[in-house]
């Protein structure tokens, strides 16, 4: 079995999970761990949620899959309508009211890039084929998403020279700096004639380093993209549906992109599904272009089972309990992770919404840190120089406190001789 980013033999022995309920994973040896990772940020409602389980059972009794080419079905239609109504800019001329259903987050980014390039060709700008972004980002593991991940020091640095050469600004600062804003917008203007789009993760850079930045930079990007005719793509795969304390991270800035990618929490972690949303203007231009439509069509696009569960997940999002729970989790993470700042090998502790990060000055010893975390009854998956948590949004105060204790134990284990 070849695990993600894994070698043979693996650096840590995988733990066998035999069940999951609420926010806990049940291991084959009988231990139960609080999942502080939401299964890579997707299981925001926890496991075996009765509403999601019921939706899955009801849909599988009707049909689990049918091709989307030439056919359609109610779960997909309802899901697309709801996503369009929820997205930034809904009800305005910049509404993201065209929804393309995808298989995964990486595919959603591939589709977004295709949309941008096809759009520019359709409006008479065929030379605009490159993408711009800032360093420190992560957008997925297929070829185009890898090309807009950080090419120096990122997890895809080995692919330099193979991937398309994109345009990079320096990583965004945490606070707002006029000089950086000028650098960012000047870069877009200088390359506008070759850029199809700018793509960024709004407010939170996820697997590239779990860094946060001022939302005002998104407004700067919106203005310069409007000025130059470059499209603006927001990758909200990690941040959508309440993770940062707003429905979408873009809401912190009050701006809408031209294209937006969502995934992960879309189905509450039950099934793989993502979506790429675009404006009517983009869809109309692509449809009038030489291809006669968007040149993409995955086999499992619009899978009815996944769409039905996603609709149930959005029911829970609409209920809005996360709006009070996420600020409470944020406050607990701030207090509970603060002692890590006293460790000499900790560079920084960062918290935003239901995201808590302990940034070390050295690479994580995966075996030592994992053992320390699991000993506290919690599951975390550290990477590079980070011990971090993105817990389910339904965690109780006691469960968040346990996650904080485990993260501190992991941070201590990362120090000299186990800390």
Active site residues: 5, 138, 235, 264
Lowest mean pLDDT among 2-11, 30-39, 167-176, 357-366: 2-11
**Percentage of residues in the chain with pLDDT exceeding 70?**
99
Torsion angle in degrees (nearest 10) through CA of 379, 382, 387, 393: -50
How far is residue 305's CA from residue 51's CA, in Å, rounded to a whole number?
14
Over residues 76-104, the mean pLDDT reads 96
Structural domains in the chain, sorted by start? 17-30+321-418 (3.90.1150.10), 57-319 (3.40.640.10)
| Res 214: pLDDT | 98
> In the 8-state DSSP scheme, what is residue 202?
S
The whole-chain average pLDDT of the chain stands at 96
| Res 419: pLDDT | 46
**Percentage of residues in the chain with pLDDT exceeding 90?**
91
pLDDT of 24 > 70? The answer is: yes
> In the 8-state DSSP scheme, what is residue 195?
E
| Res 155: pLDDT | 66
pLDDT of 412 > 70? The answer is: yes
129 CB-near residues (< 8 Å, 6+ apart): 117, 120, 194, 196
How far is residue 88's CA from residue 84's CA, in Å, rounded to a whole number?
9
How far is residue 367's CA from residue 357's CA, in Å, rounded to a whole number?
19
How far is residue 289's CA from residue 132's CA, in Å, rounded to a whole number?
23
- The answer to whether the bond into 9 is cis (omega within 30° of 0) is yes
Q: Name the strand (E) or helix (H) holding 205.
A: strand 204-205
pLDDT in tens, 367-391: 999 999 999 999 999 999 999 999 9
pLDDT in tens, 345-372: 999 999 999 999 999 999 999 999 999 9
Over residues 63-92, the mean pLDDT reads 97
| Res 161: pLDDT | 85
CB contact burial 140-156 (16+ within 10 A = b; e otherwise): bbeebbbbbbbbeebbb
pLDDT of 79 > 90? The answer is: yes
Residue 418 pLDDT level (bands cut at 50, 70, 90): very low
Torsion angle in degrees (nearest 10) through CA of 170, 182, 262, 44: 70
pLDDT in tens, 115-131: 999 999 999 999 999 99
Residue 154 pLDDT level (bands cut at 50, 70, 90): low
Over residues 202-228, the mean pLDDT reads 97
| Res 160: pLDDT | 81
Q: Which of these, 213, 197, 205, lies nearest to 259 by C-alpha position?
A: 197
End-to-end CA distance of the chain: 33
pLDDT in tens, 272-294: 999 999 999 999 999 999 989 99
Judge contact between 207 and 139, C-beta under 8 A. no
Specify the higher pLDDT residue, 337 or 152: 337
Collapse the DSSP code of 383 into the 3-class scheme (helix H, G, I; strand E, B; otherwise coil) and give the result.
Answer: strand
């Amino acid at each position: 079995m070849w695990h993600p980013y894994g070698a043979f033999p693996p650096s840590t022995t995988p733990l066998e999970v035999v069940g999951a309920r609420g926010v806990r994973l049940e291991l084959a040896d009988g231990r139960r761990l609080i999942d502080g990772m939401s299964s890579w940020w997707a299981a925001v409602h926890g496991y075996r949620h009765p509403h999601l389980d019921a939706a899955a059972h009801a849909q599988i009794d009707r049909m689990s899959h049918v091709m989307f080419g030439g056919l359609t079905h109610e779960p997909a239609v309802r899901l697309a309508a709801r996503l369009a109504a929820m997205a930034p800019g809904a009800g305005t001329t910049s509404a993201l009211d065209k929804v393309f259903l995808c298989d995964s987050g990486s595919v959603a980014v591939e589709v977004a890039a295709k949309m941008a390039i096809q759009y520019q060709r359709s409006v008479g700008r065929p030379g605009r084929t490159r993408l711009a972004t800032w360093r420190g980002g992560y957008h997925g593991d297929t070829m185009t998403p890898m090309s807009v991940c950080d090419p120096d020091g990122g997890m895809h640095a080995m692919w330099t020279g193979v991937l398309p050469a994109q345009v990079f600004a320096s990583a965004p600062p945490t606070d707002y700096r006029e000089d950086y804003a000028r650098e960012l917008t000047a870069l877009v203007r200088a390359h506008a004639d070759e850029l199809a789009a700018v793509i960024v993760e709004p407010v939170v850079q996820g697997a590239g380093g779990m860094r946060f930045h001022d939302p005002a930079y998104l407004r700067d990007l919106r203005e310069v993209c409007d000025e130059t005719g470059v499209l603006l793509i927001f990758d909200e795969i990690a941040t959508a549906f309440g993770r940062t304390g707003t429905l979408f991270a873009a809401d912190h800035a009050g701006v809408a992109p031209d294209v937006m990618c969502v995934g992960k929490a879309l189905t509450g972690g039950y099934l793989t599904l993502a979506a790429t949303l675009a404006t009517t203007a983009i869809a109309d231009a692509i449809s009038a272009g030489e291809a006669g439509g968007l040149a993409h069509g995955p086999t499992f696009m619009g899978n009815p089972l996944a769409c039905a569960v996603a609709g149930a997940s959005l029911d829970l999002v609409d209920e809005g309990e996360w709006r009070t729970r996420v600020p409470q989790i944020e406050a607990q993470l701030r207090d509970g992770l603060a002692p890590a700042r006293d460790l000499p090998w900790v560079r920084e502790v960062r918290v935003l919404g239901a995201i808590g990060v302990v940034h070390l000055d050295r690479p994580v010893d995966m075996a030592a840190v994992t053992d320390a975390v699991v000993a506290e009854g919690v599951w975390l998956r550290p990477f590079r120089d980070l011990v971090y948590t993105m817990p389910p949004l339904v965690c109780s105060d006691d469960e968040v406190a346990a996650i904080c204790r485990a993260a501190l134990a992991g941070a201590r284990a990362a120090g000299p001789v186990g800390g």
